Structure 1
């Protein structure tokens, strides 16, 4: 059975490429009529969402319970959170740097843009403050949070604490409870593996609908922003992550990127970090040699809080709108963007959808939000790109921690 599922994974990349190309061709040919495929894509995404919330909870509980009393637990947790926070801050800074260097917001027809302005997003009310957000992470009813499935940070918070609580149990009690959640995790992975059988169909529908509904006029206005964004993502994914894998993880970046492309491709197609979690986990364990103990903790956590692609997007978009409206950003505004984008990207759940958190970034920097419909109209393509980088960051963290712990263990044995 294991061999068969591995074969499906290898074939998945080929069929997703074919389905993506067909989706783009059909979507371009049909235009807005390609929206007839939207229900198929929606069903595919619903099937993934059906499983991923309990999968994240069970996986985090199992991972935290398994490492809670191990000697590497403290070190693993510190490295993981430090890595995610540091790379996110680097991502925001990179977005600002390239935004100021290439100035994607200049040279766009103001008349065309003003005709597209809307107060739709400006009138949605104020976003929750910092303390309100922190308080919202702590669930009053964790089972209610699991049932609703729309506050994944609350689920993550409870799962971590519950997992560490299980790790404090002794003897047979701990073995039984950990075994139960490990079994739940395996069962959910089995279910989502079967869902992957229809992935090419779902990807075709998503790509056809997205291509048909973007509209070439909007794409033409934003093509410079898109190009700069792609450059930033490539630098961050292959430059920053690649260097860290080499320097800290003592691993080959070339091998890493050769193996991780299937997960990147699926993440790009679905725009869901959490939905890509099973594939990312399997590649890290079976092809990159990362231990299950590490992937069970690092990857679900990263799929929820590590959003470097989002961070770059927020910073670059802030520069874009500042240039669009003729605003010169000062030092205090850069600081506000870095802080808000870093915190905002960490709090962004790993599911596809409009990046409403960019409102907070613009408000913090004193940049008008009236032009936001420009981005929301084409958010899907940006979402697909940033998700591919997000899951790459998760996998790089797992590889680096695995390398650091193995090197640490080897040094102690000498």
Structure 2
């Protein structure tokens, strides 16, 4: 019963998708009559995402205690987090190249946007906008995230002068999380209606694309969990490190499966890293921050979702520019989604914004994100333990003792 309670939201969402699938298969193109229900849900989600991202990011940064400087611990931790995220993302791209997701279904044929201006001009348009009101569009998510980070940093640096504003950011974050929670209660209906429309108009071929992508995720994710984490543990402590990691990682893994939450796994992780020989001065920093900022499972799923949507919209996922951009997005998604319930959907909106996909791209992204959640949670949660071992390995002993 506890397992069902923890995964209740996912089960309801899957129920809505299954019901939509049946409706699409039975009614065919006639199911288009319920498409407005899905459109309404997506529009509500689109309008919620902007204030949600602003308050979540700005509030998190604003409430960092600037006087409590952890120096080298945070520096080494950041490098470890970034390295494992990029390694996971890069090898996922390689897996997609080896087992390509063929264009079995093409939702919309997209014209490649004409390249205008120099590389510097394109980079400027990607990272910034010229008017404040343009930040309030989901099509400019990356500039908006940068603005949110700057706002949070300014609120933190303001000290006592910014106390009232920091309380405002915290309150706004709580309110927006509740709004998203309300929206997600109707997600089974809205997403189910949109999925029914896609199945009814595109046909059963849609399942082949989803099945292929899930096969890649669970296949590569399992290999990464066993081989990748063993490699990290070896780097941290040799063969003894591998033995120590897996001996003490069983309980956190089962906790992640049972709770479906990286946050809920923090107590089990703290106990595990202590048994792995990680000093409290490192474990007490890396594990809680890792639950928010370090998500190898999300990194893998981001690449898979991008590859699927590129396939569905008839675009190639093999150019250097596309791959570099994908690696950057996975890092941003991992950081952004950590402090937001159902934060994976925020990452999916970022993918749509950067690559200029139409609204039809969101349902496939949400469906895949829902189906990969169990393994993603395991990778996200237990990846913090091996990251703590790596930080201990590379951090000077004096810094670990005095941090």
Give TM-score scaled by structure 1 length: 0.63
- Does 2:262 align with 1:284? yes
Over 3 Å counting, the alpha-carbon distance change for 1:378 and 1:28 in structure 2 is farther
Aligned to 2:279: none
Aligned to 1:38: 35
Aligned to 1:238: 222
Aligned to 1:346: 328
Contact 2:81 2:387 in 1 (8 A): no
Per the TM alignment, residue 237 of structure 1 is displaced from its structure 2 partner at its CA by 2.9
- Greater displacement, 389-398 / 340-349: 389-398
Structure 1: distance between partners of 2:141 and 2:299: 7
Aligned to 1:256: 256
1:326-337 alignment runs, 5 A limit: 337=319
Over 3 Å counting, the alpha-carbon distance change for 1:387 and 1:7 in structure 2 is closer
Structure 2: distance between partners of 1:88 and 1:356: 20
* CA deviations over 1:111-141 (Å, ceiling 9, x no partner): xx9xx9x9x6346534786433421243245
Over 3 Å counting, the alpha-carbon distance change for 1:25 and 1:32 in structure 2 is same
RMSD, matched Cα: 5.0
Contact 2:62 2:166 in 1 (8 A): yes
Structure 2: distance between partners of 1:160 and 1:305: 25
Over 3 Å counting, the alpha-carbon distance change for 1:204 and 1:316 in structure 2 is closer
1:353-372 alignment runs, 5 A limit: none
1:102-117 alignment runs, 5 A limit: none
Aligned to 1:50: 47
Over 3 Å counting, the alpha-carbon distance change for 1:378 and 1:178 in structure 2 is closer
Structure 2: distance between partners of 1:43 and 1:95: 33
Structure 2: distance between partners of 1:302 and 1:166: 31
Over 3 Å counting, the alpha-carbon distance change for 1:68 and 1:338 in structure 2 is farther
Aligned to 1:179: 167
Contact 2:225 2:379 in 1 (8 A): yes
1:117-266 alignment runs, 5 A limit: 121-122=110-111, 124-126=113-115, 130-140=119-129, 143-170=132-159, 172-216=160-204, 223=208, 228-241=212-225, 244=228, 251=249, 252-260=252-260
Structure 1: distance between partners of 2:301 and 2:117: 21
Over 3 Å counting, the alpha-carbon distance change for 1:295 and 1:201 in structure 2 is same
Over 3 Å counting, the alpha-carbon distance change for 1:395 and 1:208 in structure 2 is same
Contact 2:10 2:370 in 1 (8 A): no
Structure 1: distance between partners of 2:312 and 2:118: 21
SS in 2 for 1:351: helix
Structure 1: distance between partners of 2:167 and 2:188: 34
* CA deviations over 1:153-183 (Å, ceiling 9, x no partner): 111112223323333333x235433332122
Per the TM alignment, residue 14 of structure 1 is displaced from its structure 2 partner at its CA by 3.3
Select which of 299, 304, 310 maps to 1:309: 304
Contact 2:259 2:265 in 1 (8 A): yes
Contact 1:245 1:253 in 2 (8 A): no
* CA deviations over 1:219-239 (Å, ceiling 9, x no partner): 5xx94x665433322223333
Contact 1:311 1:342 in 2 (8 A): no
SS in 2 for 1:150: helix
Give TM-score scaled by structure 2 length: 0.64
SS in 1 for 2:29: helix
Aligned to 2:284: none
- Greater displacement, 44-53 / 180-189: 44-53
Structure 1: distance between partners of 2:114 and 2:259: 44
Per the TM alignment, residue 310 of structure 1 is displaced from its structure 2 partner at its CA by 3.9
Structure 1: distance between partners of 2:300 and 2:65: 20
Over 3 Å counting, the alpha-carbon distance change for 1:179 and 1:140 in structure 2 is same
Contact 1:95 1:316 in 2 (8 A): no
Structure 1: distance between partners of 2:325 and 2:65: 26
